Every structure is written in structure tokens, then in C-alpha cells.
Amino acid sequence: MKTIIEEQDGKFVATLEGELDTVAALEVEKALEPLYENTGKDIVFECKKLEYIASSGLRILLTILKNAKANGSEVILRNVSDNIKDVFNLTGFVNIFHFE
Amino acid sequence: MKWHSSHSVKYNIGIVITVAILLEAISAVQYYYAHHLLNDELELRVLSELRFKAFALQQTLEQAELSLQEHLWYINEYLEEPDSMFVATQRLIHVNEKVVGGCLAFVPNYYPQKGRLFEPYAYEECDTIKVEQIGGKDGHDYTENPAFLRMMSVKRPFWSDPYKYESATGPLSLTTYSYPLLDKQGEIIAVCGIDVSLSWLGDTLNARHIHSSSFDLFLTGTGELIAGPSEDRVSQQRVQHLVALINDSTVRRESTNNERVKVINFYDEERHDEGFIYYASMKNAPQWQVALVCYEDEAFGKVKTMRLYVSLLMLAGFLLLLLVIRRTVNNVIHLQRANMEKERISGELRIAQNIQQQMLPKQFPPYPERDDIDIYGSLVPAREVGGDIFDFFLRDEKLFFCIGDVSGKGVPSAMVMAQTHSLFRMATSREHNPARIMQTINEVVCEGNDTNMFITLFIGILDLPTGRLRYCNAGHDHPILTGKDTTEIPAMANLPIGTFSDFRYEGQEQYLPAGTMIFLYTDGLTEAKNNQHKQFGLERVRKVVGENSLSTPKQLLKWMDDEVHRFTEGAEQSDDLTMLAIRYTPKEEVDWLNESITLTNDIHQVSLLNAFVKSVAQKLEIESVLARKLQLAVEEAVVNVMDYAYPVGKDGSVTITAKGNGKNIKLVIRDSGIPFDPTVTAKTDTTLSAEERPIGGLGILLVRELMDSINYERIDGKNVLTLTKRIKE
């Protein structure tokens, strides 16, 4: 599992690659720590190479979303594959996240 | 309702007026006809009386004439002897009692030896007959008598008009019949006269009358009064008035029944009453007139009284009728209201019936896609709504079912039944321990159970993969199991629901062999009565179930229903009748893949798990998208166990077994941790907004969504969670 955070055009862009399972979630949670203290910047998750996501991964995304919303910024999921989108569908997360 | 009453008032008034007019018309017609009939009757009676009286008078006169003529031979025989003429006159009055005097007035000088005038005269005095010669006596010259003179000229017999004569015994009313005595040359030699008393007319004829106030009058042909009632009965003045009326030709009319009879209507000022005079002339000489006077009040008084009585009777009847109409109208209105109310209640009952029927499972077979379970149920309420209940549903490879009977029948029972139904659904939503479910239902029902209604209830939960049946019985009839043998489920009685809120219900369990059928029923079946009040009984139920051990649930219920109907012979169903049959036929599939992996309760072991699942998926040739889903579901389930089954810091293990064939895959996750059933956690609401969404609860949600079934059992001190998925159609 690979996690990269960059700043582009005043937004955070986090690229997630590989399988975000329960074990991976432990690292990813740490890696994404900067996004927890959001200062009002929008966050984009680049999911082109994300192959798998477990509920622990979803929880991380939800926590970040809640913080972002509290600060008036947006969370955008970019290039989500059909398989991953399916999991978002099953959990109802399609309704609360913004997809590009 | 206001319209109703004003309408009925108008209707009533209409009826009253109509009936009043009708009654008055009947009374009038009746009076008219009665009067008419009585008038006819009166006239007939008057005519007959008139005839009778005229006849009596006529007869008296004719008899006098006859007795005179019978004595003529004696006079002629002894004509030569003047003294024999005294005997002749004496004989004249002797033979006829109404003849009071007789005389022979000879023409002057007929007997020279007797002088110019010779008139022997016989008369009655003090019951003796006296005879004397009165011609010339005291200057009596009969040749100047008008009757004598008249006879000399007409030479024919005639009657004199009546006259009064002062006799020694009192005044007499007399009439004289004069008869000529002729010689051989036809010359008159003497005038024979007999005096006939008419005093009897007034006495005897007045004595016989149709009405007490009626009386007769006798008049001459010229209208002079002959005889009438005595003055103490009718005053002279009144008699004179009546005589004047009879002589007045302008007031008379002819009788309708006899044209010879004349009628005069008059008003009697003395009596203040209408009166009638009927009168007629005698047929023969002297053609006197007989009149009969009668009065309206006596003739028609009874009709008037009758009319009064009839009117009073009708009035009473009319009032009675009014009362009856009033009552009837009120009754009709009451009846209408009662009917409307009944209609409303039965309408509401129909709706209630629909609502109740909709609570019950109504789609049979309920799970057409499954081949391991077949269910059929029926509920026939004795009234519109009933207090019986049955229900079942499938969740996580478990069949929840119940059957129950609320005490009593009808609406109150139905309400408790509806409550019980909701409670069953509510209590089973997070629980699959039947005793605890029963406990929950009992606590709620007991709370505020002022009416002391109670419910016998049997709750069963059948784990379909294993055939494990857990059940709790609250005083209900024991269900019957049939398969190889037919036995009753050895259920403990416990107490019915609704008795004591702190009662501890105990559950039981047993494993059902494949092919077993469970038959549940309410006492409406065993207590169905025939016309001899005999009950269908448990023996018959058991027999029918045993004979149909291989039938489908639907067939069994039909057979049972037929048997009950044959038994009751159409007797009225007295109690709700409910039956539920469940056949359990699990399919044993041969799994050629059977692999296990045991992990410690460390999250990092999930990588091993994922590798295990991937390899199993490969071996079963599961395509990648589905394989990802399986991986995710198993990972979530196992992580859940690792998170909750063991206390933090305590080591434990989780064993995952994968079984599969070309069609299905089954993943069984076992751990020895504390009892933990993930399937009863609240379902996550996926429609909430980001702010409202809780962080947890996602894992089990995903397991449910990704797998075909999820099933938890606590077996031998272990949590056993089974996930299944169909991999090929």
C-alpha cells in the first residue's frame, strides 16, 4: 500500500495505491495524519490505482470528510474504479462523498 | 336527524288529517244509511199500524151495519104490532156491545093508535137496557131532525158525523148509522138508527203504539176531529194544531212506501222537536181519516245516540291509531339508527379484518426460491376478527416462527393479537434466543394489562444450516413433529404471556432431522365441536398428521381442514382455528473443497487471511470481482471477531473454514471468545449525511450486503458465524 500527499493549486491531493485492507489501514491512517488537521483546503483522493478497500479504509475517509466539512472544505474522490465504487454504493457512501 | 324529525312530523300530520277525514266520512255515511233504513222501517211500521187502526174502525162500523141488517127481519115480521118494536130496538143494542143506543123513528101517523109521532128508543144505562117511547115526549119532534129529513130525501143508509152526547154516565162520543125501513112499494115507513160509541177509539187505539210519545188522531172525511189522545197526554191546543196541519193541503207529501198515505213534517214547539204526521183515509164509507203522529227524537234518537257512540269510539280508535303511528315512526327511526350503527360497526369490522389478515403471512409458498423449507399457514377467525396469531420470517438463515392464541374472541382479542404481532417482530429484530424474546413480549404485555387478557404463545427459531430448533413455549398446545415418527415437541408449559411480568421463561432446543415437518395449531382445532358437542380432540389431530407425514404443508392443512369439517358436520365454528406447518428439507451438498486456517486475534494476521481467501477463490475458479467481494466480506467478519470476541490484550484464536463446490462457497468463522452475535447489531442507516454517519457499523453492513446469508450460532461454547455465497447459477 502506497500513500502520497501533495499540495496542488491550494488543494491536498492524496494518492492511494494498492489494497487498503485492515492492516494497510493502520499505516494509511498515519500517513494521512496531515489531512486530519485541515485548515480549510479541499482534499482530493486520487484512487486510480486503488484496488481494494475495507471498512477500516472507509472509516479513515469518513473521519477526514467529517473534519473537512466542519472546516467548510470539500473531499473529492477521483478516478474511483467500479469495484471500489461498488463498496461505496453498498455502504451508502456514494451519497456523502464527491466523485470526479 | 333534524330533517328526519321534521319530515316525520309532516308525514304524521298528513296521516292524521287523512284518517280524520276518513273516519268522519265513514261516520256520516253510516249515519245517513242508518237514518234512511230506520226511516223506511218507521214508515213501514207506521203504515202497518195505520192499516190496522183503519181496519179496526172499519170493522166496528161494518159490524154495526151488519147487526142492524140482521134484525130487519124481526122488525118486518112484527111490524103490525107497534109494541113489538120496543123489543126490536132492545135487540139491536143487545147483540153488539159497541152499539149503545137504537131507535125506530116511524113516519108520522104510521100507527094511528100511537099518535102522530112514534119512536121506540132503547139505550144502555148502568149495564141495563132501557126502552122508552120518545117520539113527541117533552116536545121531541124527530121529523125536524136533520138526519130524518136527509133520509127522507136520499132513502139510502148513511153514517152521521161523530158527535158528543151527555149520557147519564158521562160524555160519550157517538156516531149514528141511519137505515131506511121501506114498505113493499119502496116508500119509507121508518128510519132505523143505531148509535155506535167511538169512545173506545181514544182509549184502546192510543194504548198500542210504536213509541211512547206517538199517538193517533181520527178525523172525518172533512177533517173534523173524531177522537184523539186524552188531554193529559196531548194538549187540546196541540191536537188542534195538528188537525189544522192535516187540513192544510200545502204541507203534505206522499209516503215513499204507500201513495195513499200522506206525510207531514212539522216542528212541535211544545216538545221542541221535529215530528211527522202519517195519515190516510179509510177505503170504504164513511171514509174517515186515521192519523199517526210520532217524533224525531224517539224515532231516530237511537240513531243519533249510536252516531255519538260511534263518533266517540272512532275518536278513541283515532287517538289509539295516532299513538300507534307515533310509536311505529319512532321505532322505525330507532331501527334505522340502529341499522346505520350496525352498518358502521360491521364496516369497521371488515376493515379491521382486512388489517388483521394483512398482518399474517399471506404469500404461499413464502420462499419459492428455497428448497430447504416449505411453509403453509391458515387462520380462520370464528368472528370477523380473531385473537389467534401466527407469523414467520427468515433472517440470516434462521426461520423465526410463532403461533399463539389470545384469551377470548372478537375485537378485544384482535387488538391484543395485533399488539402481540408487533411485539414478536420487534423482539425478534435483534434477538434469536426464544426465551429472551418471550421474556420481552411478556414484560410489555404485562405492563398495563388491566383487562387480564393472556396469550398462549409458542416461539420457534430454526437454524436452517444446522437444523437446530430452539423454542420457548408459553402455555400453548405442543406442536407435533412428524417424519419417521409422529411425536409432540416436549415443550415445557411455562406461563402464558400476560400473567406475571417477572416470570422467567425457559427455552429448549433440539435438532430436526432432514424431512421433518412441524405442525402447530391453536385449540380451535382440537376443540372444534360437532352438533353433539364432542370435540375433535388431539388424537384425531395426531392421526391426521401421522397419516400425512410425507405430504406438503399445504396438503396437510387441507387434509386437516377436511377432517375437521367432516367431523363438525357444519356446526357453527366456535373458536378461531389456526394451523401452521413447516417442512424442513435441507440439501446435503458434497463439498470437494474443505480448507481451514487458524489465526490469532491480531489484526496483522488479516494479510494471511486475505491470501487464504484468494487461494480458495482460485481453486473454486471464482472470477475476480466476486473473489474481491468474498475477500472483503471475510476480512470484515474476521476483523469484527478480533475486535470484539476477546478482551483487549487477551490472546485468542479464530479459525476460518472454507467449504465449497462448483455452486456454493461456505465460510465458517469460529472463535472461543465471549458470546458475540454480530448479526443482531443495529442495521446501519446508509441514508444519513456525512455529519450524522457514525464511524462504526460498516464492517457487518458490508458482510450482509456482500454475502447471500450470514448466520450466527453459539455452539459448544464457540461463536460460529457462517457466511454463504452462491458462486455459479
Residue (of B481, B461, B471) closest to B393 by Cα position: B461
Q: Which three cell numbers stand for residue B692?
A: 450524522
User: Who contacts A72 (Cβ-Cβ below 8 Å, separation ≥6)?
Assistant: A40
In angstroms, the CA B115 to CA B109 distance is 6
Nearest chain A residue to B632, by CA: A54
User: Who contacts B19 (Cβ-Cβ below 8 Å, separation ≥6)?
Assistant: B318, B321
What pLDDT is recorded for position B555?
93
A98/B contact by beta carbon, under 8 A: no
In angstroms, the CA B614 to CA B623 distance is 11
In angstroms, the CA B174 to CA B144 distance is 20
Contacts of A91 in chain B (CB under 8 A): 684, 686, 698, 701-702, 705
Exposed, middle or buried by CB within 10 Å (0-12, 13-18, 19+), for B13? exposed
Q: Are B545 and B519 in contact (CB under 8 A)?
A: yes
* CATH number listed for the domain at residues B360-584: 3.60.40.10
Q: Which domain holds residue A15?
A: 2-99
Q: What is the pLDDT of residues B503-524, one digit of tens each?
A: 899 999 898 999 999 999 999 9
Chain B closest-CA separation from residue A47 CA (Å): 17
Nearest chain B residue to A52, by CA: B628
Backbone torsions φ then ψ of B648, nearest 5 degrees: -60, 130
Backbone torsions φ then ψ of B178, nearest 5 degrees: -105, 135
Q: How many other β-carbons are positioned within 10 Å of the β-carbon of residue B609?
A: 24
Nearest chain A residue to B684, by CA: A91
pLDDT at B256 > cutoff 80: no
Q: Residue A29 sits in a domain of what CATH number?
A: 3.30.750.24
- Identity of the residue in A22, A55, A96 whose CB atom sits nearest the CB atom of B690: A96
* CATH number listed for the domain at residues B40-316: 3.30.450.20
Q: Which three cell numbers stand for residue B334?
A: 330507532
Backbone torsions φ then ψ of B531, nearest 5 degrees: -70, -15
Contacts of A83 in chain B (CB under 8 A): 625, 628
CA distances (Å), origin B145, targets B140, B141, B380, B639, B707: 9, 7, 129, 174, 164
A67/B contact by beta carbon, under 8 A: no
Q: What is the pLDDT of residues B611-631, one digit of tens each?
A: 999 999 999 889 888 999 999
Residues 590-649 of B with CB under 8 A from A: 603-604, 606-607, 610, 625, 628, 631-632, 635-636, 639
> Half-sphere exposure of B507 toward its Cβ, with a 13 Å CA cutoff?
17
In angstroms, the CA A85 to CA B510 distance is 44
Best-predicted range by mean pLDDT (B128-137, B202-211, B700-709): B700-709
- pTM check: above 0.90: no
Q: What is the pLDDT of residues B649-673, one digit of tens each?
A: 888 899 999 998 878 899 999 999 8
In angstroms, the CA B656 to CA B645 distance is 15
CA distances (Å), origin B273, targets B232, B246, B268, B297, B569: 19, 18, 5, 7, 85
| Interface probe, candidates B607, B612, B628, chain A, greatest A C-beta count within 10 A | B628
ipTM given for this complex: 0.91
The partner residues of B399 in beta bridges, in order of sequence, read B394, B462
Specify the residue for cell string 121501506: B182
Q: Which three cell numbers stand for residue B490?
A: 416436549
Chain A closest-CA separation from residue B610 CA (Å): 9
Compute the average pLDDT of residues B162-168: 78
Compute the average pLDDT of residues B104-131: 85
User: Who contacts B673 (Cβ-Cβ below 8 Å, separation ≥6)?
Assistant: B601, B641, B644, B645, B646, B652, B719
CA-based radius of gyration for chain A: 12
Longest dimension (CA), chain A: 33
Compute the average pLDDT of residues B7-22: 77
A92/B contact by beta carbon, under 8 A: yes
Confidence class for position B208, pLDDT limits 50, 70, 90: low
Confidence class for position B207, pLDDT limits 50, 70, 90: low
Are the Cβ atoms of B606 and A62 closer than 8 angstroms? Answer: no
Contacts of A81 in chain B (CB under 8 A): none
3-state DSSP assignment of residue B125: strand
Strand order of the β-sheet with B398-406 is: B388-395, B398-406, B455-463, B468-474, B508-511
Cα B486–chain centre separation: 57
Q: Which three cell numbers stand for residue A92?
A: 451508502
- Identity of the residue in A23, A62, A97 whose CB atom sits nearest the CB atom of B606: A23
For chain B, the domains span 40-316, 360-584, 593-726
**What class, spelled out in words, does domain B593-726 have in CATH?**
alpha beta
